[in-house]
Each structure stands twice: as C-alpha cells, then as structure tokens.
C-alpha cells in the first residue's frame, strides 16, 4: 500500500495533536479547599500559601466567647475544588466593644450599690475622711470612661469622721512608670522609707537615675492609716 492511502488519517491526527498541545498549555490543576474554620490567622497563612490561595477578609464578627483572630467561617467551604490563586474569604472573630466604667463621682453609696448591682458589676467600698458631703463618692478605680476589663469597681465615699483625727486614712497612690528618684523624693517628704528592688543585676556604681517603677507595695488604691503606721511604713518599689 502506498503512503497516499493514509492521507485520510492526517486530519484526525492533527486534531488530536492540537488538542493535546492546547490541553497541556492551558490545563489547570485544581486544589482542594483546606479547612480554615477554627484556626487563627497566623495558622491559616502558611496553609493558604502552600495551597496557592489568596486570603481576603470578608468581615469581623463580635463574639465574647471566641478568642480574637479566630476564623469562624470561610467562602468557599472546605473540601471544594478551586483554582490556584483563587481568593478565600474569611469571617474573623473579635471582642465586642469594652464596656466603659460608669461615672460614680458625687453619687451616694446607696445609689452606687444599686446601680452596680443592676449592671452585674461587683464592687469594693471604702470610706475615707473628707470635707465632702457624707457618703458621697470622692474617688473610684477604674476612672470614669476607662474600659472595664474586669467587672469590678473600687469606690471611695466620704465619711463624717474629722480628717484631723489621729488615724487618718489615705488612698495609696500609683507610682508605676514614674522615675524612682521622683518617687523617693516624694516619700521622703512624708518620712516614709523606701526599699528598691531591681529586676536585673546592678553594677556597684548604679545610681537609679533613669530607673522606672514597674511594681510597688503597698498596691495602688490600698487604704493606709498614715498617722498610726507612718513610723513603721515602708514602701517597696520594683524598678527596671
């Protein structure tokens, strides 16, 4: 048989050859969508990178019961076949807005207790000698408007006790992030001794000029009876 008798097969051969070339040039290997739900963003990044997927933020969802930054849903869903470099959209958890601390200044003890109990906020109450009206709030921790990280407030009301009595009560101030030299000078005025504790090993010529207070005893907000304990009171400052 001559070669010419096979010419009829040339069109079919050309078709299959062309199809094979086009298939190999434009064929896409689909990837299986990984499961991202329940993972944090830090955990999802290497998984998405390995699967050649693009991460996109769809929205945030407020939920106090889920840690911040956890993926709560995804589009497309896990298990679907998608093209490489396709975008996957995430809904990520975040904490709801922190409740601000209410303003208790000037209110009576009875009003404050009723207000905080209704809001489900626990409280600690102290009375201090003051020239303000009796049983009125004169100080509080945290301050009004600050985020209420813990559902607890400390408030102080004025008592009718004369402020000149022997056992005068004061609220111990906060020295955190203040220069230890400034704190030492302040306490020296009130004849209060100071013990300095460093968070690191000091050289023999160390003079604490640039040291800052990072912790203290008594704690900020503590009630101190100055006249009774002044001679024995010793402030302890931890500095860095």
* pLDDT category of residue 104 using cuts at 50, 70 and 90: very high
Is the peptide bond between 142 and the residue preceding it cis, with omega within 30 degrees of 0?
yes
pLDDT single digits (tens) 160-217: 654 444 456 778 889 998 988 888 888 887 778 888 888 887 777 777 778 899 999 8
Fold of 11-94: Trypsin Inhibitor V; Chain A (3.30.10)
CB atoms within 10 A of CB 76: 14
Cα separation, 68 vs 41, in Å, equals 10
Q: What is the mean pLDDT of residues 129-154?
A: 85
168-240 and 11-94 share a CATH fold: yes
Under the banding of pLDDT at 50, 70 and 90, the label for residue 67 is confident
Domain 106-165: which topology? Trypsin Inhibitor V; Chain A (3.30.10)
Q: Where are the domains of the chain?
A: 11-94, 106-165, 168-240
The answer, yes or no, to whether residue 145 has pLDDT greater than 80, is yes
Q: Which CATH class is domain 168-240?
A: alpha beta
- Tell me the percentage of the chain whose pLDDT exceeds 70: 82
**pLDDT (0 to 100) of residue 97:** 82
The structure's pTM equals 0.43
Question: Where does the pLDDT of residue 26 fall: very low under 50, low under 70, confident under 90, or very high at 90 and above?
Answer: low
Q: Which helix (H) or strand (E) holds 137?
A: strand 137-141
């Amino acid at each position: 048989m001559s070669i010419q008798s096979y010419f009829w097969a040339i069109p079919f051969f050309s078709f299959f050859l062309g199809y094979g070339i086009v298939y190999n040039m434009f064929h896409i290997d689909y990837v299986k969508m990984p499961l991202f739900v329940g993972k944090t963003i830090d955990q999802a990044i290497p998984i998405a990178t390995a699967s050649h997927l693009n991460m996109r933020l769809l929205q945030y969802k407020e939920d106090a019961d889920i840690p911040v930054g956890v993926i709560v849903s995804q589009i497309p869903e896990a298990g679907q076949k998608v093209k490489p470099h396709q975008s996957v959209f995430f809904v990520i958890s975040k904490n709801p807005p922190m409740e601000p601390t209410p303003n208790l200044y000037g209110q009576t003890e009875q009003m404050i207790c009723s207000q905080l109990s209704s809001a489900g906020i626990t409280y600690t109450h102290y009375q201090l000698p003051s020239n303000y009206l009796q049983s009125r709030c004169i100080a509080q921790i945290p301050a009004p408007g600050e985020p209420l990280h813990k559902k607890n407030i400390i408030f102080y009301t004025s008592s009718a006790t004369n402020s000149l009595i022997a056992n005068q009560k004061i609220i111990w101030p906060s020295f955190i992030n203040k220069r230890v030299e400034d704190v030492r000078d302040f306490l020296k005025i009130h004849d209060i001794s100071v013990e300095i504790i460093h968070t690191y090993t000091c050289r023999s010529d160390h003079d604490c000029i640039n040291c800052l207070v990072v912790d203290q005893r008594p704690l900020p907000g503590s009630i101190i009876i100055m006249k009774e304990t002044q001679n024995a009171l010793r402030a302890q400052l931890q500095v860095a």
